[in-house]
Structure 1
Amino acid sequence: MTSQTGSHPARPLPGRATSRATSLAGLIGFALLLVAAALLARAAAHLVPPAYWLDALRDPAPGQMATLLLRDALLPRFVVSLAAGAALGLSGTLFQQVLRNPLAEPGTLAVFSGAKLAVMAATLFAPVLLTFGPEGAALLGGLSSFGAVALLGARRGFAPLVLILGGLVVTFVCDGLAQALLLFHHEALTDVLVWQSGSLSQNSWEPALALSGVLALGALATIPLIRALTALELDENGAQSLGVAVAPLRLAALMLAVGLAVAVICAVGAIGFIGLAGPALARAAGAVTLRQRLWQAPLMAAALLALTDQLVQMLLGGAMPTGAVTAVLGAPLLLFLLRRVRAGHVAAPILAAAPPARGTGAWPLLLLAGGLAALTLVALGLGRAPGGWALVTGEDFTAMFHWRGPRVAGAAAAGALFAIAGQILQRATGNPLASPELLGVSAGAGLGLLAVLFLAPAVTPGLMLGATSLGAGAVLAIMVALARRASLAGESLLLAGVALTALLSAIGAVVLFTGDPRTIILLEWLSGSTYGVTLSQAAQAGGVLLAVLLALPLLRRWLEIVPLGRPLGRALGLGGSVSPLLLAVAAVATAAGTLMVGPLSFAGLMAPHMARLMGLNRPLPQAIAAALIGALLMVLADFLGRTLAFPWQMPAGLVASLIGGGYVLWLLWRRPA
């Protein structure tokens, strides 16, 4: 790993300016902490008058619920928020220093998702691992998921954007597997769901004392590493010339960072983005050296988490898990920090499709159409029953078609719509990894759906399609504007889209915790299930697909010219209104597909990529092939979800996201430096 793979501010000249900056950073942290303490005092005064606080702490009167709440709930919760925030701030600082990556933290590196998945799996299949608590399983899961991310990053020299994109995709895969376990074993995992929600609620001092002890041990273990970690700001040869054993140092620091994060998740669940915000705020306030960041970043993170938790208690009554709120606030922070990681920090594109052979032959299209027809017949006629596999024919087929027909048609239409949207986006941006899922367009459609559910007096299919189209179009317009201003590289745009998808998931989690009856629609949509698709819904998706297919011949010339760039496009007569029209078609296609199978399927990424690998490089044949491939993928995902885990069913969107997430990870792996 070389110094070119990260982003660090230049080392300042020693003197009074650095001292003032350091003082400012510390003052800001202490000021935030004082505000949080003031809010704590306000809440405590509502329970017990200040004159009786000491008596309540020393010997609460029997039967006095207010004094017990003060001593065993309110105060331990405040201490836990401080200890958890400081631990995550220290963990994030270590990750960022070792990996030379200002975006690194336990959440973006998949430590949290791996730990949660491991505890869920151990609860179901190896409860003996939980005999002494979840720490062992969580540590194993966190290390495994981070190890997978590190292996992906190592093949690209630990380039920051490669590492974070890999981390977020690993997070999607782990979360998908966790959701699959939850679908099959919801009752057995109820306690795990409460544990992983990120709630800081306490009923004793035990977790606070345990987490504070882990934090103290982590800080003590960091002290002897400071000098060697500072040398890592040089390149690898420079650090070794100073006598630093680079590989053992990295391993020790990363193990320490993972251990601190796992301790937090075992105590209070996943607290997203605090490990990113603490170091970022400390650096922005003037903490530029490692020694400064090692105490100011934990201070900032502790104050930020404590302040957020106090505001959650004051404004929401403490009913909302603080971890969900920090995730909502953290995704915009990630988008902001992306501007600091320029394209120059990545020596080559993260991913690129292999150069395809040019071709427009009809044989690939005929084979794909035949394959889709055969798979559709299998999906309609083949299923599992208590006695085993069963193939229905004749009148039984007609009767079963009433149940299977709409869901198969809806899945096929959604896959084709995602594929066409992905092909338009890839040609419009010149990026083979652009897709509705990775650019956040599906997330925008989800935000439009949320707006309709909570603002419209009556929800109709047409209104849902219109709102999701507007949401998808708005996000797409933002992404294109960012690209045109050249403030973000292509890889950063992908990561920004993934951050928007994470933001949607966090907002969805917050909304689900409200208990509003309208969240049932949101829950069904998030799962990507085709179980309840009606004939009218499938017909609506099919109608949108037909309109998009009819529009493709009219867009063919524009799709041919757009990849050549704006100057050459203008020279060839490409008008300024072309891009908005293409984006509108992609937005409507994404919205209609998202309503069928949820926000994350990766069909929009895989299908155009596979069409290019088949040698179809002209816009119209490529779009038709991509649509057929997308339909194939989603029909297959629906069939597998219906049959693999019989008598349970896995949502088609979930199955497709697991397949697609694995595909993205394979693409990351196959592109060596």
Structure 2
Amino acid sequence: MTAVDRAARPAVAHANDSRTRVPAALVAALLAVALMAALGLSAVNLAAIAPRALWWPALFSPDLHDIRQIIVHDSWLPRIVTAWLAGATLGLAGTIFQQVLRNPLAEPMTLGVSAGAQLALTLAALWAPATLGVLHQSVALAGALVAAAAVFGLAWRSGLAPVTVAIAGLVVTLWCGSIGVALQLFHAPYLRGLFIWGGGSLVQQDWSDVVSLAPRLAVGGLLAWLLLRPLTLLGLDDANARSLGLALRRMRIAALALAVMLSAAVVSAVGVIGFIGLAAPTLAQLAGARRVAHRLVLAPLCGALLLWLTDQAVQPLANALGELVPAGAASALFGAPLMLFVLARMRSVQRLDAAAPLAQRLRSSRSIRRRFALIVLVTAAALVLALDLGRGVHGWQFSSVADLSRIAIWRVPREVAAFAAGIMLALAGTLLQRLTGNPLASPEVLGVSAGAALGLIALVLCAADAGHGARLAATAGGAFATLIAILWFARRSGYLPQRVLLAGIAIGALFQAVVAVVIAGGGERATTLLAWLAGSTYTVTPADAITALVLCLLIGLLTPFTGRLLEILPLGDAEARALGMRSSLARGALLALTALLTAAATLIVGPLSFIGLTAPHFARLAGARRPLEQLALAAPIGGLTIVVADWLGRTLLLPRELPAGLVATLLGAPWLMWLLARRHAA
């Protein structure tokens, strides 16, 4: 037995556990059913284009005088082959990302590939539209590679440590995405085509995408196979990998560069197709592919099958709606229920690796208290400035007492709601990252924000001119329905964090697919939805502000009682029981508290994803190590960030406004990038 096999033996032993055999057989059966369904749907769609007698000649030697045969040969068939190639490429890239970053939440979009490509195309569409005619693939590829290079640069000094790479990738993704959304809010009529491209479109007019993707997949698969031993070792912790002679930085950059190139190839060819790169490796592992070699083979097949089935299932609907159902968005409509069905029957899942700390030096309690006091003072000053300082017809000026009495009714509710929402999201993000040990976990991963979005979409589709109260009720209904579904779903597993994260991602992807379809339709509904999703305080009323503040106080005051739970749960179930703690009950309570904080903030200002993700990291970088210290620093950091962001979004581009969520990301992401870039290797 080789050293690699001995090192990987625990994982294999886990795979052979009898508790996982039933799910593996179930997943295999589901994949077989999916294959039969894809074949049947393909036949149905082909029959709608041409009669059965013309199938053979249309596929292989079409009559150029028969439009039906031309459509089959130059549109229908290359569309299927493109779905195979794109799905397989994303499945392969997702496997590499998850193995190198040692994180089951990693996917091809982790390193900002899709966000960079979409931003590049957005900029080109606005200021160099002539380049999109023949160079759109080159523009998208260049944007994807620049974003990935930025991630590598930020994580270079840490030796490309998995946690740092993952965080840097997510920050770059948020930053590029926020710039793109801001431009879309200002130039929505000119960028409607990018809405559809952003959802991934497999519509084909020739075989050019097949010719582009096929050799890249073949070369990528060969290189991945040559990197099999390094990939296996990269799944171990750094100390064990080094002891087995692996050059960590060199192999990580080689593997990540390969995965980025594969992802960029798909993005440049057919647009952003999410979820496939996350779902395919997960399904392959659930089907019994535990070794890296097996996953490198099975995950691309799962990805190809999932995207093929999705595309064939939505083609009749797409034809009815004028090709406004993006394939990438639709893939979540089918892939998410499949993952939920499988996860609901799993009895055990692999435990997530604990996140490595982002700050290495221990700080004294006195130092933490000084930092907390400083952040609170800065936050108080920011609240005063946001209320009093603004722009008018004469430029920047402080408001007089008389003016302040008139404008306070507009400004105070916004600032109070923003402050309360920032605190709640920061607390939720800290609890979730502490509970799961995963630095990529954020409140939105639970799917609660996506559920609120679905409630708003349902209302907008049924009554576009609904009032503020109806919108608040719709978002509340969607958020709390999702919360109940997540907690019910996780109950069978004893509220294991990894199960909750995967379930939340699947449900969130399902809801976000509906969001993407609505946005692809364009119009005022898309613009309204984009503004809300970006985190807006536009419509906050005094009653909303009071509600937000009360919810923040009532729910937030419960968080100091979680310190002991967060200290003991990471030790394991056996240790927790020895200390008299019921692990499943404690995890359920923490998850419920996290979801309540997320839902309360989302109801008021929409999903502010950047705060819940990065406020805990800012607190760590400020020296917080223990759970209560991190909660204490993250809360005012979250409130301060949103207050400043809302103030700047309201004043900088007067008379236009930017949502607070966008501004928080645009300003906070570069700061976090700078902090990450300054870190030395551990």
Do Structure 1 and Structure 2 share a fold, with TM-score over 0.5? yes
The corresponding residue for 1:176 is: 178
The corresponding residue for 1:219 is: 218
Q: Does residue 419 of structure 1 match 2:419?
A: no
Q: In the alignment, is the contact (CA less than 8 A) between 2:120 and 2:143 conserved in 1?
A: yes
Q: In the alignment, is the contact (CA less than 8 A) between 2:147 and 2:172 conserved in 1?
A: yes
Structure that is richer in helix per residue: 2
Between the aligned partners of 1:282 and 1:627, the Cα distance in structure 2 is 39
Q: In the alignment, is the contact (CA less than 8 A) between 1:8 and 1:100 conserved in 2?
A: no
Could you tell which deviates more after superposition, 282-291 or 178-187? 282-291
Between the aligned partners of 2:63 and 2:456, the Cα distance in structure 1 is 50
Between the aligned partners of 1:259 and 1:237, the Cα distance in structure 2 is 28
Equivalent residue for 1:549, pick from 541, 546, 553: 553
Change (3 A) 1:546 1:29: closer
Q: CA deviation at 1:659?
A: 3.9
Between the aligned partners of 2:440 and 2:241, the Cα distance in structure 1 is 43
Report matched runs for 1:525-564 at 5 Å: 525-533=532-540, 537-546=541-550, 548-549=552-553, 558=561
Between the aligned partners of 2:126 and 2:658, the Cα distance in structure 1 is 18
Change (3 A) 1:585 1:461: farther
Q: CA deviation at 1:258?
A: 2.7
Q: In the alignment, is the contact (CA less than 8 A) between 1:6 and 1:102 conserved in 2?
A: no
Provide the secondary structure at the position in 2 that maps to 1:145: helix
Which TM-score applies when normalising by structure 2?
0.73
- In the TM superposition, what whole-angstrom CA distance separates every residue of 1:431-483 from its partner, at most 9, and x where no partner exists? 6999998133784144145247638998636634752662575478579969x
Q: CA deviation at 1:485?
A: 4.2
Q: CA deviation at 1:85?
A: 2.0
Could you tell which deviates more after superposition, 332-341 or 465-474? 332-341
Between the aligned partners of 1:5 and 1:131, the Cα distance in structure 2 is 51
- In the TM superposition, what whole-angstrom CA distance separates every residue of 1:609-651 from its partner, at most 9, and x where no partner exists? 878969999989987x977665443232122112333453211
Q: Does residue 591 of structure 1 match 2:599?
A: yes
Change (3 A) 1:604 1:647: same
Q: In the alignment, is the contact (CA less than 8 A) between 1:560 and 1:619 conserved in 2?
A: yes
Report matched runs for 1:125-204 at 5 Å: 132-150=134-152, 163-202=165-204, 204=205
The corresponding residue for 1:406 is: 410
Q: In the alignment, is the contact (CA less than 8 A) between 1:413 and 1:631 conserved in 2?
A: no
Provide the secondary structure at the position in 2 that maps to 1:383: strand
The corresponding residue for 2:572 is: none
Q: Does residue 321 of structure 1 match 2:326?
A: yes
Report matched runs for 1:444-523 at 5 Å: 444-448=448-452, 450-451=454-455, 454=458, 460=470, 463-464=473-474, 466-467=476-477, 470-471=480-481, 473-474=483-484, 477=487, 485=494, 487-488=496-497, 504-513=511-520, 522-523=529-530
Between the aligned partners of 1:518 and 1:413, the Cα distance in structure 2 is 24
Q: Does residue 653 of structure 1 match 2:661?
A: yes
- In the TM superposition, what whole-angstrom CA distance separates every residue of 1:248-291 from its partner, at most 9, and x where no partner exists? 77655544433332222222111113234444444555556666
The corresponding residue for 1:19 is: none
Report matched runs for 1:32-71 at 5 Å: 35-54=37-56, 56=58, 58=61, 60=63, 66-71=68-73
Q: In the alignment, is the contact (CA less than 8 A) between 2:535 and 2:606 conserved in 1?
A: yes
Q: In the alignment, is the contact (CA less than 8 A) between 1:419 and 1:604 conserved in 2?
A: no
Report matched runs for 1:154-303 at 5 Å: 163-202=165-204, 204-211=205-212, 214-220=213-219, 222-223=221-222, 226-227=225-226, 229-230=228-229, 232-234=231-233, 254-285=256-287, 294-303=296-305
Could you tell which deviates more after superposition, 82-91 or 99-108? 99-108
Between the aligned partners of 2:587 and 2:255, the Cα distance in structure 1 is 48
Between the aligned partners of 1:247 and 1:619, the Cα distance in structure 2 is 34
Q: Does residue 439 of structure 1 match 2:439?
A: no
Q: CA RMSD in A?
A: 5.6
Q: In the alignment, is the contact (CA less than 8 A) between 2:355 and 2:437 conserved in 1?
A: no
Between the aligned partners of 2:218 and 2:440, the Cα distance in structure 1 is 43
Which TM-score applies when normalising by structure 1?
0.74
Show structure 1 runs of 5+ residues with no match: 14-23
Q: In the alignment, is the contact (CA less than 8 A) between 2:642 and 2:664 conserved in 1?
A: yes
Between the aligned partners of 1:106 and 1:228, the Cα distance in structure 2 is 18
Between the aligned partners of 1:556 and 1:319, the Cα distance in structure 2 is 44
Q: Does residue 367 of structure 1 match 2:377?
A: yes
Between the aligned partners of 1:578 and 1:31, the Cα distance in structure 2 is 39
Could you tell which deviates more after superposition, 428-437 or 289-298? 428-437
Change (3 A) 1:338 1:608: farther
Change (3 A) 1:127 1:617: same
The corresponding residue for 2:351 is: 342
Provide the secondary structure at the position in 1 that maps to 2:656: coil
Change (3 A) 1:593 1:376: same
- In the TM superposition, what whole-angstrom CA distance separates every residue of 1:508-530 from its partner, at most 9, and x where no partner exists? 22344577987776444213223
Provide the secondary structure at the position in 1 that maps to 2:391: strand
Between the aligned partners of 1:434 and 1:257, the Cα distance in structure 2 is 21
Q: CA deviation at 1:371?
A: 0.8
Between the aligned partners of 2:396 and 2:57, the Cα distance in structure 1 is 70
Amino acid at match of 1:301: G
Q: In the alignment, is the contact (CA less than 8 A) between 2:363 and 2:624 conserved in 1?
A: no
Provide the secondary structure at the position in 1 that maps to 2:608: coil
Amino acid at match of 2:215: A
Between the aligned partners of 1:527 and 1:486, the Cα distance in structure 2 is 30
Amino acid at match of 2:473: L
Percent identity between the two aligned chains: 36
Amino acid at match of 1:414: A
Amino acid at match of 1:371: A
Between the aligned partners of 1:75 and 1:451, the Cα distance in structure 2 is 38
Between the aligned partners of 2:160 and 2:454, the Cα distance in structure 1 is 37
Rg larger for: 1
Q: In the alignment, is the contact (CA less than 8 A) between 2:536 and 2:659 conserved in 1?
A: yes
- In the TM superposition, what whole-angstrom CA distance separates every residue of 1:318-352 from its partner, at most 9, and x where no partner exists? 64111002245556859969975534x45744678
Q: In the alignment, is the contact (CA less than 8 A) between 2:494 and 2:585 conserved in 1?
A: no
Between the aligned partners of 2:126 and 2:166, the Cα distance in structure 1 is 30
The corresponding residue for 2:113 is: 111
Change (3 A) 1:45 1:82: same
The corresponding residue for 2:21 is: none
- In the TM superposition, what whole-angstrom CA distance separates every residue of 1:75-119 from its partner, at most 9, and x where no partner exists? 232222122223333434555566666655422333222222233
Could you tell which deviates more after superposition, 634-643 or 275-284? 275-284
Change (3 A) 1:659 1:261: same
Aligned length: 643
Between the aligned partners of 1:241 and 1:548, the Cα distance in structure 2 is 49
Provide the secondary structure at the position in 2 that maps to 1:342: coil
Change (3 A) 1:140 1:331: farther
Between the aligned partners of 2:193 and 2:115, the Cα distance in structure 1 is 17
